[in-house]
C-alpha cells in the first residue's frame, strides 16, 4: 500500500468520528494463504515505532534490592521481591497492575518467583516480562532509564489463532504523517516475515476507537444488520397422557370382563 492511500484514510477516519477525548488509531491487517494455527507460522515480534505511540505507556518493574532504587526512579510502579506474597494473596491488586501497565520488567534472577506469583494473571493477557522486548534484565543493569524510554515507543505485532493483526499505531492528536510513518514501518517489517510478502496480505483497515473501519483503497465499511424474525414454535405434544388414559380404560374393561366365581350350593 502507498503512503498516499494511508494519508487519505487517516484524514477520513479522524474527521468522521470526533469525540471529546483523543481516540487511539488502530491498524488492522488481514492475512491469507497461511495457516496460523501452526506454531511455526505464527507472527510475534516487538518493534519500536519511529513516531512513538502518541501517549504515555506505564511500566511496572518486579525487582530485588539490586535494582530497587533505579526502578523507583524510572518506572511507574515497582513491586519488590519482599512484596510478592502480599500481591500473591490479593488477586485484585495484580489485576489492578494489569489494567494500569502495558509493559512489565523483571530482574532475571527472580524470574521464577515472578512467574509463580504473577504468571497466571499476566500470562493470560500476554503481559509477562518478555525477553524479546528486553524486559528481563540482569541484577546489574545501569540502563533502566533507557529501557523504560524505549518501551514508550514499543509495540507488539502478533497473530494468535486467526490470520489477522491488530495494533495501535498512534492517537488522534498525532499528525497524519507521523502515524503513516508508524504504519509503513510495521508493514515493512511484516513483509519480511511473510513467505509470499504482499501476496499474503488480504486487506488493510484503519479505524479509531469508536469509529467505523476504513478499508484502504475502498472506503468506510458499513455493516448491514439483518433482523431475523423468530417463528412461533409449536407446543410440544404430551404423548404420555393419552397412553395413560388408554391404559386406565383398558384396565377398567378388563376388570369388568372378569367372570365372577360361581358359588356352589352345599
Mean pLDDT by 10 residues, the chain (266 residues): 89 85 92 88 94 94 96 96 90 90 96 94 92 95 95 92 91 94 96 92 93 91 50 56 49 51 49
Q: Are residues 90 and 197 in the same domain?
A: no
Q: Are residues 41 and 117 in the same domain?
A: no
The CATH number covering residue 129 comes to 3.40.50.790
Q: What is the pLDDT of residue 132?
A: 94
Q: What is the pLDDT of residue 228?
A: 43
Q: Are residues 180 and 74 in the same domain?
A: no
Q: What is the pLDDT of residue 229?
A: 46
Q: Are residues 22 and 132 in the same domain?
A: no
Instruction: Answer yes or no: is 116 within a domain.
Output: yes
- pTM beyond cutoff 0.85: no
* Coil vs helix vs strand at 231: coil
What residues contact 74, with CB distance under 8 A and at least 6 apart? 59, 144, 145, 148
CB 60 within 8 A of CB 97: yes
Q: What is the domain count for the chain?
A: 2
Q: What is the pLDDT of residue 224?
A: 41
Q: What is the pLDDT of residue 235?
A: 61
- Please give the full DSSP string across 50-110, using - where no structure is assigned: TT--SS---EEEEE-HHHHHHHHHH-SEEEEGGGHHHHHT-HHHHHHHHHH-SEEEEEGGG
Q: Are residues 171 and 204 in the same domain?
A: yes
Q: What is the pLDDT of residue 207?
A: 94
Amino acid at each position: 500500500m502507498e503512503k498516499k492511500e494511508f494519508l487519505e484514510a487517516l484524514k477520513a477516519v479522524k474527521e468522521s468520528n470526533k469525540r471529546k477525548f483523543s481516540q487511539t488509531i488502530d491498524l488492522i491487517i488481514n492475512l491469507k494463504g497461511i495457516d496460523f494455527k501452526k506454531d511455526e507460522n505464527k507472527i510475534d515480534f516487538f518493534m519500536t515505532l519511529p513516531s512513538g505511540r502518541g501517549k504515555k505507556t506505564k511500566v511496572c518493574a518486579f525487582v530485588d534490592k539490586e535494582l530497587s532504587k533505579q526502578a523507583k526512579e524510572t518506572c511507574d510502579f515497582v513491586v519488590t521481591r519482599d512484596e510478592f506474597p502480599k500481591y500473591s494473596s490479593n488477586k485484585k491488586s495484580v489485576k489492578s497492575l494489569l489494567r494500569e501497565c502495558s509493559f512489565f520488567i523483571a530482574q532475571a534472577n527472580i524470574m521464577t518467583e515472578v512467574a509463580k506469583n504473577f504468571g497466571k494473571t499476566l500470562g493470560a493477557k500476554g503481559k509477562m516480562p518478555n525477553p524479546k522486548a528486553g524486559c528481563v534484565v540482569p541484577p546489574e543493569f545501569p540502563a533502566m532509564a533507557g529501557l523504560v524510554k524505549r518501551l514508550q515507543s514499543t509495540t507488539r505485532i502478533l497473530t494468535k489463532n486467526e490470520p489477522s493483526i491488530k495494533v495501535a499505531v498512534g492517537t488522534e492528536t498525532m499528525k497524519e504523517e507521523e502515524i503513516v510513518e508508524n504504519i509503513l514501518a510495521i508493514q515493512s517489517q511484516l513483509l519480511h516475515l511473510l513467505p509470499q510478502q504482499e501476496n499474503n496480505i488480504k486487506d488493510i483497515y484503519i479505524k479509531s476507537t469508536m469509529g467505523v473501519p476504513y478499508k484502504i483503497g475502498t472506503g468506510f465499511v458499513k455493516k448491514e444488520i439483518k433482523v431475523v424474525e423468530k417463528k412461533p414454535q409449536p407446543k410440544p405434544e404430551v404423548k404420555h397422557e393419552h397412553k395413560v388414559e388408554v391404559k386406565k380404560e383398558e384396565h377398567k374393561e378388563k376388570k369388568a370382563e372378569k367372570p365372577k366365581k360361581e358359588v356352589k350350593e352345599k
